[in-house]
Amino acid sequence: PQRDSVPYYGIDDDGAWCSHWWWEGEDDGQPKNTPRMHWKTNVSMPVDMSDYVITSLSFSAIINASVDPDIDTPNDVWARPSVYINQFETYDYAQFYVEVTTLDIDELNTYRIAFNQTRLLGNENLLLYDIEGFIGAFEEQAIIDALNNVLAVDPGHNNFTIVLGIYMYCEDNNSNLDRDHWDDMRFKFLNLTFSYEKKIDQFTSGSWAQDLEEISGSNVQITDANLNFDYKIDKNWTESSQNSQIRIYINERKFEQTISLIEYDDSSGFQEARPGGYDIEEILLPYENFTLSIQVFLAEDFELDNDITVSIKNVYLYVSYTETFPDPISENWLFVGLFIIAVMGATVLAAYLIAYQTYLKYPVPVRKVRKYRKTLSSEKTPGVGIVSQKASFSKDYKTELKKTDKFLKGAPVNGKVMRNKLLDKKEGELPK
């Protein structure tokens, strides 16, 4: 008989098995009435499952059990030969279960996906001492959810553990002495199969790119830029992504025309992107280093159950441009004209500055005084005439006399004689 609390166990050609004999009367027998056995197997996926979606799953397991008649069940009479059942609550039973969990078997991330508990195994009226059948599995989506939860917490999102469990409960059904013999409890077969598809996120893209040197020169103007290439898809594009495209970029500038992947017929092999090519002059600029990119753009979220290969070849970009050079003769004459204008302007400015410093900066009265002062030291007679006293008086007299002509009515008086009388001088003599 078994002396340890762990049941006998092993793995043979018919599966994983254990057995247990419980004798209440042996030393320390009472605590051995709840043995449990676990087997585990680790599973590693070839991909990071966070990038994939489990789309379908199937699970099945066959369990088998053989017991002695002393396993006590409802409506049994004998706890063992010649010993009556005189106490009971749940009777004896066994549990079979399957769980998925993490590699370290974290209880918080352990999920049961199948379960069976015996009720009449060992019933003496039915003579039911051997059973075999499929374990009761949970619904497909429940198992998928459990597996997703375990993979989500795995560091690489690709490992999980399957645990097989057998639990035997030996109830004390006789107040004096009870015995329960579990002869052979086993998992004969287990299969867990699931399908998964690549999770394609909306706006995912992949590009072929080529760095190109800038188009430079004297006054460059691009007149034509023609791009063409051949492309192929190894199978018809998935209906799950109707709006996916091939796009063309120069640096971050997108060309407005695109190629729809859903319209491609895989029977045609490589085909020209566009007869005659694409005129991409509007997105190509001179005087910059640029990158030509041909991009596969995925416009929807979808799942992909197989690889699709998009290929391109024979990529050509033809660019035409003009350079404008100035006329060298016209440029020389222009330079000469500008030089002459500059010299004349400098001369006029210098003359003005000289005149300003020597003459223009003084007010007009000061200018006259300065001019007269210079004539005093000049050997030449100044340009101002000096009138004699007689001539000056005669001039003033005539001026005053004219003012009274319109009032005097008598005969004209000889001005000359009158003047001499007024002077009390003889005619022709000037005062000395």
Q: Does residue 245 lie within any of the structural domains?
A: yes
Range with lowest mean pLDDT among 13-17, 215-219, 391-395: 391-395
pLDDT of residue 373: 65
pLDDT of residue 240: 72
Side-chain half-sphere of 209: how many Cα atoms within 13 Å?
A: 10
Residue 311: domain span: 205-323
DSSP secondary structure of 277-310: -EE-GGG--SSS-EEEEEEEE--S-EEESS---E
Cβ pair 159, 44 in contact under 8 A? yes
Q: Where are the beta strands (DSSP E) in 36-178?
A: 36-44, 52-67, 78-80, 83-84, 93-101, 111-117, 130-134, 159-169
Question: Is there a single domain that holds both residue 86 and residue 101?
Answer: yes
Question: Is there a single domain that holds both residue 30 and residue 148?
Answer: yes
pLDDT digits (tens, 9 = 90+) for 166-198: 999 998 888 778 889 999 999 999 999 999 988
Q: What's the rounded Cα separation, in Å, for the pair 379 and 47?
A: 118
Banded pLDDT at 430 (limits 50, 70, 90): very low
CATH of the domain at 228: 2.60.120
Helix, strand, coil percentages for the chain (3-state, nearest 5): 25, 40, 40
Banded pLDDT at 428 (limits 50, 70, 90): very low
- Total residues belonging to the chain: 432
pLDDT digits (tens, 9 = 90+) for 347-389: 877 777 777 667 666 676 766 666 666 665 555 555 555 666 7
pLDDT of residue 408: 52
Which pair of structure tokens corresponds to residue 335? 């330079």
Distances (CA, A) of 280 to 70, 238, 396: 89, 29, 99
Question: Is there a single domain that holds both residue 41 and residue 99?
Answer: yes
Question: Is there a single domain that holds both residue 33 and residue 120?
Answer: yes
Quote the longest CA-to-CA distance of the chain: 201
Banded pLDDT at 267 (limits 50, 70, 90): confident
Question: Is there a single domain that holds both residue 311 and residue 238?
Answer: yes
Banded pLDDT at 2 (limits 50, 70, 90): very low
Question: 68: closest CA among 136, 1, 142?
Answer: 1
Question: Is there a single domain that holds both residue 44 and residue 72?
Answer: yes
**Residue where the block lists tokens 């005969």:** 411
Q: Does residue 146 lie within any of the structural domains?
A: yes
Q: What's the rounded Cα separation, in Å, for the pair 291 and 301?
A: 28
Which pair of structure tokens corresponds to residue 271? 């085909």
**Torsion over CA of 215, 221, 224 and 230, rounded to 10 degrees?**
20
Q: Which residues pair with 16 in a beta bridge?
A: 11, 187
Q: Does residue 269 lie within any of the structural domains?
A: yes
| Among 289, 323, 357, residue at a domain's last position | 323
In this model, does residue 279 exceed pLDDT 80? yes
Question: Is there a single domain that holds both residue 190 and residue 224?
Answer: no
Q: Does residue 215 lie within any of the structural domains?
A: yes
Question: Is there a single domain that holds both residue 147 and residue 218?
Answer: no
| Among 293, 323, 353, residue at a domain's last position | 323
Q: Does residue 363 lie within any of the structural domains?
A: no
Question: Is there a single domain that holds both residue 183 and residue 264?
Answer: no
pLDDT digits (tens, 9 = 90+) for 125-161: 999 999 999 999 999 999 999 999 999 999 999 999 9
Q: What's the rounded Cα separation, in Å, for the pair 181 and 19?
A: 8
Backbone angles phi, psi at 407, to 5 degrees: -105, -25
pLDDT digits (tens, 9 = 90+) for 67-110: 999 999 999 888 887 788 888 889 999 999 999 999 999 999 99
**Residue where the block lists tokens 């491609």:** 264
Which pair of structure tokens corresponds to residue 383? 């340009």
Domains in the chain: how many in total?
2
Calculate what percentage of the chain has a pLDDT beyond 70. Answer: 80
In this model, does residue 28 exceed pLDDT 90? no
Q: Does residue 340 lie within any of the structural domains?
A: no
Q: Does residue 226 lie within any of the structural domains?
A: yes
Which pair of structure tokens corresponds to residue 44? 């590693």
| Among 199, 220, 244, residue at a domain's last position | 199
Question: Is there a single domain that holds both residue 157 and residue 225?
Answer: no
Q: What's the rounded Cα separation, in Å, for the pair 324 and 327?
A: 10
Q: Does residue 231 lie within any of the structural domains?
A: yes
In this model, does residue 409 exceed pLDDT 60? no
Query: What is the pTM (predicted TM-score) of this model?
Result: 0.60
Question: 86: closest CA among 180, 176, 174?
Answer: 174
Cβ pair 150, 111 in contact under 8 A? yes
Question: Is there a single domain that holds both residue 105 and residue 161?
Answer: yes
Q: What is the DSSP letter of 358?
A: I
pLDDT of residue 233: 87
Question: Is there a single domain that holds both residue 190 and residue 152?
Answer: yes
Banded pLDDT at 332 (limits 50, 70, 90): low
List of long-range contacts for 349-356, beta carbons under 8 Å, 24+ apart: none
